[in-house]
Structure 1
Amino acid sequence: MSDITLRTAQKDDLAALVQLEQACFSGDRLSKRRFKHWLEADNGIFIVARDNHMLLGYGLVLLHQGTRLARLYSIAIDDRARGQGVAKKILAELEVRAAQVGRLFMRLEVAENNAGAIALYQSAGYRIFGEYSDYYEDHSDALRMQKRIRTVGSVSPELVVGYHDVPWFRQNTEFTCGPASLLMAMGCLDAQCELSHEQELDIWREATTIFMTSGHGGCHPIGLALAAQRRGYQATAFVNTQAPLFIEGVRTEHKKSVMTLVDEQFKNKAQAEGVIVEYCELSLSHIEHWLQNNYAVIVLISTYRLDGRKAPHWVTVTAIDDMCLYVHDPDLDEKIQVSFDCQHIPIARDDFIKMQTFGRDKLRTAVAIKRLV
C-alpha cells in the first residue's frame, strides 16, 4: 500500500465517504445529508485517510461547547485497508487536533460485542467507565470509554513551565490530602525524601486545624509550611486573608474558638521559625513564577467541581502551560480510578481559577517550597 495521507475532509470526498459508510455499517449510518453538514460545521474535527488511489478511512470528532471533552462520533476503515494501522493513525491524529483546540479528554461509545474496536481503543489508552443499554438501532449495548488526550508538553512543549520529576503519593486517610501533597512536593525536590504513611501522619499532626465542618481537621497552609521548613526546605505560605481559616462552615462556638487559637499559634510559630507568610491575592502568574524558579507548589482547591462536596482539598502542581495547569491529586477512588488517573491531571486555566477559590470568603492559598542550599 502506498503512503497514507491524513488531511481534513473536503467536499470532494463526499461520494467516497457515503460509499464507505454503506460498506462498513449495516445500521446507525451517517447519511449523505449529515456528511454534508459535518464537512461544513465548525464544531467538529473531520479527517480522512487516503493513499494515491482511494479513500482508506475517516474519523469524525464532535466538539461540544462549554465542555473540555471531545467525542469520537464515528470512525470507519475500508476493508481493503484493514490491518495496515489506518484506524490507529486516524485516532492519534484526531486526539492531537482535539488537544490543540483545548480539549482535555476524548470520549467514545463502542458496541459491547465489537471486540476488535474495543481492543484498538484499549491499546491506545482508552478505559471503560460506563455503558449505555439499548444504545444502537439493533438494541445492542454500548461501552463508554475515555482517554486523557492533553498531557504535559503534548501540544506546546516549549511553553511548559515546571514538570519536575514529581512522585505520586496516595493519601491514606480522607483528611491527609495536605500532608500527601506536601510529601509529593518535597519528593520532587529531593529524591531521598521518604514518602511514607508515617511521614504523612506526622505532618498531619503538625499541621492540622483540629476541627473542620465534619470529621477530622484538615491542614492549615502555615502549618504545612512549618512542617516543610522543619524538614529542610525553604517554605512560604501564601494566603489572601489574615482572618482565621476554615471556620465559616463550623457551627459550634467552641470549635471556632479552638480553630482560631490554632490559627494564631501557627502564625506565631511561623514568625519564630522563619517561615514566610505572604498575604496577597493568589494568581496563576504566581504559580508560574514559582515553577520557573524551581519551587514545588501545593495549592488548596474546592472539590465542588470534582465531586459536588465543596470540601477543601490540597493538590500538588506539576506544570503549567498556555492552556492548562497540571496537578497530582493524592485522592484515589479505587472504584473508578487507577493511579495514572490522578497524575498530571490537566485543568484548564479558567477552570482552575474557579476551583482555587474555597468557601463564601473566597479563600485562596498555596505553599511554595524550595530545597535549602
Structure 2
Amino acid sequence: MSSISIRPASSDDIEPLFALENNAFRGDRLSRRRLQHWLKAANGILLVCESSDQVVGYGLVILHKGTRLARLYSLAVSAEARGLGVGKKILSALEQASSKQGRLFMRLEVAKNNHVAIKLYESMGYRVFDEYTDYYEDHSDALRMQKRIRSADTAFYTKQTPWYQQTTEFTCGPASLMMAMASLQPSIKPDAMLELDIWREATTIFMTSGHGGCHPIGLALAARRRGFNAAACINTAAPLFIEGVRSEHKKEIMTLVDRQFHQHAQEEHVACLIQDITQEKIQGWLAANCAVLVLISTYRMDGKKAPHWVAVTAIDDDCLYVHDPDTDKDQIPMDCQYMPISREDFSKMSAYGSERIRTAVVISKDPLPETL
C-alpha cells in the first residue's frame, strides 16, 4: 500500500465512508444521514485516512459542550489496510485535533471480545475504568476506556460515586443527592421512589416555567433526615430563584417556602451558611471525605440557562469532575460520569442567573469540617 494521509472528511467522502461503515461493522452502523450530520456538526471531528485516493479508514470524535471531554464515537479501517498501523494513526490524529479544541480526556467504549482493538487502545495509553453489560445490538458487553490526551500536574481528590439518571426533567437535585449519599453509604440504592420523595421534600414549588426545582436547604434537610450531617452554603440571604418568575402570587409562595426551609433547618440542626462557594472550599470538602452538590447554569452545555444540580466527584489542577444526572441526544451515560469541566468554565457555570447565585450542599457521615 502506498503512503497514507489523514485529512478532514468532505462531502465527497460520504459514499466511501458509508461503504466502509457497512463493511467494517455488523451492527450499530452509522447511516448516510448520520454521517452527513457529523460532517457538518460543530461538536464533531470526522477524519478520513486516504491511500492512492481511496478512503481506507476513518475516525469520529464527539466534543461535549461545556466539558473538557472528547469521546471516540467510531473508528473503522478497511480490510486491506488492517495491520498497517492505520487505526493508530487515525486515533493519534483525533487526539491531537481534540486537544487543540481544549479537550483533556478521550473516552471510548469497545466490545469486550474485540481483543485486537483493545490491544491497540492499550498500546496508546488507554486504560479500562468501567464496563457495560448488554451494550451492543448483539447483546455483547463493552469496556469503557479513557486516556488523558493533555498532560498536567495534578492534585487529585476523587470519590467513587455511582451514577443515576434523573427520571424527570425537574429532579436533577434529588438524583444528584442520591448519588452523593450513595458515595458515602453504598447501602443506599438510588431509585425513582426515593428520587420523588426527595423532590417533594425539597421543591421550591414554582420555577420560571414548569415544576419547581430543589432548594439547597431542602436538599440538605432531605440528607439530614436520612442520617447524614448536612449543610447548605449560599452566597445570598435573599429568597432563591424568584428573579425569573413574573407572577407575584408565585413569588409570594416561593418566598414562604424559602422561609420555611430556613426554619426547618434551624429545628433539624442543618447548617445554613451565607458565604461564597469557592473551588478551594469544594476541594477542601472533598479532601475531608464529604460529598458535594453544586448548582450550575446549563447555558454552556445546552444554551438554556436552566438551574441544574450536579454531584462533584473529583478535582485537580485543571478541572472539576461531576456526575450529571441528565443526558442529551448525543450522550450515553458514560459521557455524564466524571465529566471534566475546566476550572475557568466551572467558575462561570456555577453562578446562576442575573443575581449570580452560587450555592452548594455538603453532606458527610462524619461531623462536618469545622472550616465549613
Correspondent of 1:339 among 333, 337, 346:
333
Deviations 1:121-166 (A, max 9, x none): 9x969xxxxxxxxxxxxxxxxxxxxxx997689955852212x110
Q: 1:91 to 1:290 in 2, by over 3 A?
A: farther
Deviations 1:63-109 (A, max 9, x none): xxx9968899xx9x9x99x54462344455556667877524679xx
Percent identity (aligned): 54
CA distance in 2, matches of 1:149, 1:103: 16
Aligned: 1:103 with 2:120:
no
Q: Which residue of 1 aligns with 2:190?
A: 195
Q: Which residue of 2 aligns with 1:35?
A: none
Aligned: 1:300 with 2:295:
yes
Larger Rg: 1
CA distance in 2, matches of 1:288, 1:346: 15
Which stretch shows the higher mean deviation, 300-309 or 239-248?
300-309
Q: Which residue of 2 aligns with 1:265?
A: 260
Q: Secondary structure at the match of 2:259?
A: helix
CA distance in 2, matches of 1:247, 1:89: 53
Q: Which residue of 2 aligns with 1:159?
A: 155
Shift of 1:372: 3.7
Is this contact kept in 2: 1:178–1:315, CA < 8 A? yes
Give the 5 Å matches for 1:186-225: 186-225=181-220
Q: 1:95 to 1:274 in 2, by over 3 A?
A: farther
CA distance in 2, matches of 1:285, 1:85: 48
Question: Structure 1: 5+ residue runs without aligned partners?
Answer: 1-17, 29-58, 108-118, 126-147
Question: Structure 2: 5+ residue runs without aligned partners?
Answer: 13-58, 108-115, 127-143, 368-372
Deviations 1:293-350 (A, max 9, x none): 11111110011111111110001111111111111111123x3222112111111111
Shift of 1:286: 1.1
CA distance in 2, matches of 1:231, 1:85: 58
Task: Compute the RMSD of aligned alpha carbons.
Answer: 4.3
Q: Which residue of 1 aligns with 2:43?
A: none
CA distance in 2, matches of 1:215, 1:202: 18
CA distance in 1, matches of 2:317, 2:275: 23
Aligned: 1:244 with 2:239:
yes
Give runs of ≥4 in structure 1 deviating > 6 Å: 69-72, 95-101, 148-154
Q: Which residue of 2 aligns with 1:40?
A: none
Q: Which residue of 1 aligns with 2:359?
A: 365
CA distance in 1, matches of 2:69, 2:232: 34
Q: Which residue of 2 aligns with 1:170?
A: 165
What letter is aligned with 1:161? Y
Q: Secondary structure at the match of 2:355?
A: coil
Shift of 1:189: 0.6
CA distance in 1, matches of 2:212, 2:177: 16
Deviations 1:331-371 (A, max 9, x none): 123x3222112111111111111111111100000101111
CA distance in 2, matches of 1:20, 1:258: 67
Is this contact kept in 2: 1:69–1:103, CA < 8 A? yes
Correspondent of 1:253 among 248, 251, 261:
248
Q: Secondary structure at the match of 1:248?
A: coil
Q: Which residue of 2 aligns with 1:87?
A: 86
CA distance in 2, matches of 1:187, 1:151: 26
Deviations 1:251-301 (A, max 9, x none): 111111110011011111111111111111111111111111111111100
What letter is aligned with 2:334? F
Is this contact kept in 2: 1:161–1:291, CA < 8 A? yes
Deviations 1:224-264 (A, max 9, x none): 00100111111111100000000001111111111001101
Give the 5 Å matches for 1:108-147: none
Is this contact kept in 2: 1:153–1:160, CA < 8 A? no
CA distance in 1, matches of 2:253, 2:92: 57
Q: 1:96 to 1:192 in 2, by over 3 A?
A: same
Q: Which residue of 2 aligns with 1:43?
A: none
CA distance in 1, matches of 2:86, 2:353: 47
TM-score, normalising length from structure 2? 0.65
CA distance in 2, matches of 1:295, 1:151: 27
Deviations 1:49-75 (A, max 9, x none): xxxxxxxxxx9x9xxxx9968899xx9
Q: 1:99 to 1:274 in 2, by over 3 A?
A: farther
